[in-house]
Homo-oligomer: A and B are copies of this chain.
Amino acid sequence: MKLIRTMALFALCAMCVPFSRADEGMWLFSNPPYKILQDKYHFRPSPDWLEHVQKSSVRFNSGGSGSFVSADGLIMTNHHVGADCLQKISTKERDYVKTGFSALSYAQEPKCVDLELNVLMSIEDVTSQVAGAVKPGMDSAAAEAARRAAINTIEKESRDKTGLRSNVIALYNGGQYHLYRYKRYTDVRLVFAPQQAIAFFGGDPDNFEYPRYDLDICFFRAFENDKPVHVEHYLKWSETGAAEGDLVFVSGNPGRTERLDTVAHIEYQRDYSLPGALNVLRRREVLLRGYSERSTENARRAEDELFGIQNSRKALLGMLAGLQDPAIIEKKRAAEKSLQGAVEKDPKLQQAYGAAWDQVAATIKTLVKIRDEYNLVGYGPAKRAQALNSDLFDIAITLLRLPVETAKPNPERLREYSEAALDSLKLHLFSEAPIYEDLETVKLADSLGMMVEMMGADNEMVKKVLAGKSPRDRAAELVSGTKLKDVAVRKRLAEGGLKAVNDSNDPMIQLARLIDPASRRIRQTFEQQVEEPQREAYSKIANARFAVYGSSVYPDATFTLRLAFGEAKGYVEGGQKIPWATTLGGTYEHANAHQNKEPFELPKIWQERKRQLNLATPFNFVSTADITGGNSGSPVINRQGELVGIIFDGNIESLVLDYIYSDQQARAVAVHSAGILEALRKVYAANRLVGELTGKK
């Protein structure tokens, strides 16, 4: 499971059986599943418990989750979440990803270059302001503009008033809008990382598998004013950790689910979206593998990106396999018919919501038409242009748009240039993260090649982009010609405003200028003709569900803080009992079973210190908690609010869970808090860290 928000699509039972006894749901902290918890586990989280867990939870904006684990701003997440920072501070000589790191003092803790962490401080319902901005009779374009203006304004006012990062979140697919306010940390430093060989032991073959033996952890520390922050809320470390049968909670940021999607929408995922995404992922995987195999240094440069691609590929393949199962689609169709039937029976519901399914279907038709161009050249927040797969291009188009957008009144700006969003945008725009010319060239050349394939060699835009050259030659020319690798150059262009950008003869800026009009146009088409009408239609469907099934339901995932829950327990697969937990000793057996060969080769220090370890200590364990991509690094918490583990993966059966929730086989996979402590003590002798975690300094 991984930072990249893999597309989870839907779960059949979600919301249709709101009082299910299953351990289902990614619940809002403002609307926890009191009744299910009470009925099934006889537990009712107190307001203090909830606030403590909420404010101990940390979002990694690079795409994962984490939690405070000491009063001195110590934060734990997964190694594969921390890898974004590790990769960016590594060099040929010092590879933090591969060799790991352990700081002996605050002074030794190196700073991440562009990592932003968020802690959720408050939730406010702003549905009436956002939904009210859209007046009856507005067309989609006007509605989209009005809604965007309302959101930009609410966020700016909140930020001005509180100083907190402020985001309006569309929940229930637009059925509700909540204002989330975050404390923001941007001085984040590395405290401890194990070697990748044990953090990602078993590699791609073991990814999304269980039983598992991974020390997928990484510790950071939040600083302010060059000092460790002191936090009121952090999770106490449970030295014994979870036991079989325990009720556990997962507090984290599931990235995206589409459990509310109509059948037409799901069929779009099956027929276009997932196959298309997989083709691009496979293409990039083969490309980066080829690049990586040429030398150790190449492998290091591409490592984090390649891992992300492989991780997404495996996740999406699992999802597509689920959607290609005719039985699943049939069940989903039956559920949709059942809800539609209930709506049709009630003239008032039918009048208000009956047309919503057709409205979604109409947007899908538009989407099918525009999707290739949107994917290739559309550019926006969390949406890169597939035809221009280059960090330098991203920088160029961001620089190009910056003076244009900031010259507009705040309500009219593209979302990522609104007043409230600019801090985070600039953090990335001026990041000192290394950019490797050879890797940039390889990626850009391949993506330009894809542009030729998909848009056609005779397309006017393609011809202009290639400027009479082959994709390889053109990419080499662009990457070697641009000066945007230099952060000072970027800052100078940003400070120089519109004139500086217009006067620039940087080839990458010129390329961005060439792409920008088409890129804006197709994004606008998507936002006005797909996103906005979908939002309106899905808001109707959500309200129909509320009306038919009641309101104690959870919304689809939105990469915001949610509470999941479940039981630590094993399962049966192919007639075989899979245990709830593995042990440290099992790690060595697993390595031996694979001839200790990469990716099953343990770090030397793990071999050397084997004898010191209590091999019976639990290492990884599974629970029935409902998670998905983005939950990586989420703390696993017991009734007492103590940390008993850290989520790092879901098993292969959990990929199907995105369509049909089931706790039969689907499991969330976590590192056990006792196993972590044993490894830190005996393998790494990380006494400083252990002292801080256990409060016995």
Tell me the A453-477 residues at the B interface (CB within 8 Å). 453, 456-457, 463, 466, 468-473
Once A279-B279, A296-B597 are accepted as A-B contacts, the answer to whether A472 and B321 lie under 8 Å apart by CB is yes
Once A290-B204, A293-B205, A293-B599 are accepted as A-B contacts, the answer to whether A470 and B325 lie under 8 Å apart by CB is yes
User: What string of 1s and 0s marks CB contacts (under 8 Å) between A264-304 and chain B?
Assistant: 00010011000100010011011001100111100000000
Which residue of B has the minimal Cβ distance to A322? B470
Contact, CB under 8 Å: A286 / B282: yes
* From B293, B326, B599, contact of A469 by CB (8 A): B326
**A30 on the B face (CB < 8 A):** no
Once A449-B320, A453-B271 are accepted as A-B contacts, the answer to whether A468 and B326 lie under 8 Å apart by CB is yes
* From B204, B321, B325, B463, contact of A293 by CB (8 A): B204
The complex places the Cα of A91 from the Cα of B267 at a distance, in Å, of: 44
Tell me the A407-464 residues at the B interface (CB within 8 Å). 449, 452-453, 456-457, 463
Chain B residues lying within 8 Å of A452, measured Cβ to Cβ, are 270, 324
Once A267-B457, A457-B271 are accepted as A-B contacts, the answer to whether A468 and B327 lie under 8 Å apart by CB is yes
**A228 on the B face (CB < 8 A):** no
Chain B residues lying within 8 Å of A289, measured Cβ to Cβ, are 289
Chain B residues lying within 8 Å of A327, measured Cβ to Cβ, are 468-470
**A212 on the B face (CB < 8 A):** no
**A203 on the B face (CB < 8 A):** yes
**A615 on the B face (CB < 8 A):** no
Chain B residues lying within 8 Å of A205, measured Cβ to Cβ, are 290, 293-294
State how many copies of this chain the complex holds: 2
* From B203, B271, B293, B324, contact of A471 by CB (8 A): B324
Chain B residues lying within 8 Å of A322, measured Cβ to Cβ, are 470
**A595 on the B face (CB < 8 A):** yes
* From B286, B293, B453, contact of A313 by CB (8 A): B286
Chain B residues lying within 8 Å of A282, measured Cβ to Cβ, are 279, 282-283, 285-286
**A594 on the B face (CB < 8 A):** yes
**A329 on the B face (CB < 8 A):** yes
Contact, CB under 8 Å: A271 / B324: no
Name, among A205, A283, A471, A595, the residue most crowded by chain B CB atoms within 10 Å (CB to CB).
A205
Which residue of B has the minimal Cβ distance to A328? B470
Contact, CB under 8 Å: A466 / B326: yes
Chain B residues lying within 8 Å of A326, measured Cβ to Cβ, are 457, 463, 466, 468-470
Contact, CB under 8 Å: B271 / A470: no
Name, among A205, A324, A463, A468, the residue most crowded by chain B CB atoms within 10 Å (CB to CB).
A324
* From B329, B463, B595, contact of A296 by CB (8 A): B595
Chain B residues lying within 8 Å of A473, measured Cβ to Cβ, are 325
Chain B residues lying within 8 Å of A321, measured Cβ to Cβ, are 449, 470-472
Chain B residues lying within 8 Å of A295, measured Cβ to Cβ, are 594
Which residue of B has the minimal Cβ distance to A290? B204
Q: Given known contacts A205-B290, A324-B471, what 12 new A-B pairs fall within 8 Å (CB)?
A: A204-B290, A270-B452, A270-B457, A271-B457, A275-B453, A279-B283, A282-B286, A290-B314, A326-B466, A326-B470, A327-B469, A327-B470
19 contacts between A and B (CB under 8 A): A205-B293, A205-B294, A270-B452, A270-B457, A282-B282, A282-B285, A282-B286, A286-B286, A286-B313, A289-B289, A321-B449, A321-B470, A321-B472, A324-B449, A325-B470, A325-B473, A326-B463, A327-B469, A327-B470
Chain A contact residues, CB within 8 Å of chain B = 203-205, 267, 270-271, 275, 279, 282-283, 285-286, 289-290, 293-296, 313-314, 320-322, 324-327, 329, 449, 452-453, 456-457, 463, 466, 468-473, 594-595, 597, 599
